[in-house]
């Protein structure tokens, strides 16, 4: 089991490092610029070229069944689910086969609204409750995958 972090705007990197370290999981931090990571043989940094979807493509091409990807990117989450991986948003939202279609549709609608010049306000601020939900979702995903592999 591998953990990938879509890291450029991820507010829960430190939480991922702690959980992954507790379970001894290899973690790859993927970004298009330098991001400081802890000194650990379990944590690797991958800097990809700048550009749309370059980091997403790198992650999606390497994700295998049971891998965990931390991302806010809904199309990447869809690709991860199609490989048999697990996708979790930093706010603790677990993307599932049942929820991804609605998430993609809502994203498309919001893109259309923004393209007309409408100001949509953006996402709500990241809160302590989001961090707590994320930690719980990540811990549950790791345990679920470990039980599945036994």
What pLDDT does 125 receive?
Answer: 85
Examine the pLDDT at 1 and tell me if it is beyond 80: yes
Q: What is the CA radius of gyration of the chain?
A: 15
pLDDT at 85: 96
- Specify the pLDDT at position 107: 65
| Tens-place pLDDT, residues 92-130 | 999 998 887 787 677 677 676 777 877 767 667 889 999
70 domain-assigned: yes
Number of domains in the chain: 1
- Which pLDDT score is estimated for 35? 94
Residue 114 forms part of a structural domain: no
Encode pLDDT of 30-80 as tens digits: 999 999 999 999 999 999 999 889 999 999 999 999 999 999 999 999 999
In a domain, 86, yes or no: yes
In a domain, 48, yes or no: yes
Average pLDDT over residues 2-25: 95
| Residue 35 C-alpha from the chain's centroid | 16
What's the rounded Cα separation, in Å, for the pair 131 and 90?
A: 7
Query: Has residue 23 got a pLDDT over 70?
Result: yes
Q: Are 71 and 77 in contact (CB under 8 A)?
A: yes
Q: What is the pTM of this model?
A: 0.86
Whether residue 27 has pLDDT greater than 90: yes
Per DSSP (E only), the strands in the chain are 2-6, 26-31, 43-47, 68-70, 86-88, 94-95
Residue ranges making up the domain that contains 34:
2-95+124-149
Q: What is the CATH number of the domain that holds 43?
A: 3.40.50
For 40, half-sphere exposure in the C-beta direction (CA atoms, 13 angstrom radius) is: 19
Question: Is 108 inside any structural domain?
Answer: no
85 domain-assigned: yes
Calculate helix-pair angle for 54-62, 74-83, nearest 10 degrees.
Answer: 10
């Amino acid at each position: 089991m591998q953990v990938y972090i879509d890291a450029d705007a991820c507010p829960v990197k430190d939480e991922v490092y702690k959980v992954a370290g507790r379970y001894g999981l290899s973690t790859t931090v993927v970004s298009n610029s330098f991001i400081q990571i802890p000194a650990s043989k379990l944590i690797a940094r991958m800097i990809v070229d700048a550009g749309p979807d370059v980091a997403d493509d790198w992650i999606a091409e390497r994700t295998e069944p049971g891998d965990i990807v931390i991302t806010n990117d809904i199309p990447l989450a869809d690709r991860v689910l199609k490989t048999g991986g697990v996708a979790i948003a930093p706010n603790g939202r677990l993307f599932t086969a049942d929820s991804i279609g609605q998430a993609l549709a809502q994203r498309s609608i919001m893109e259309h609204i923004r393209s007309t010049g409408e100001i949509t306000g953006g996402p709500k601020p990241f809160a302590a409750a989001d961090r707590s939900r994320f930690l719980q979702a990540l811990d549950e995903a790791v345990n679920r995958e470990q039980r599945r592999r036994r």
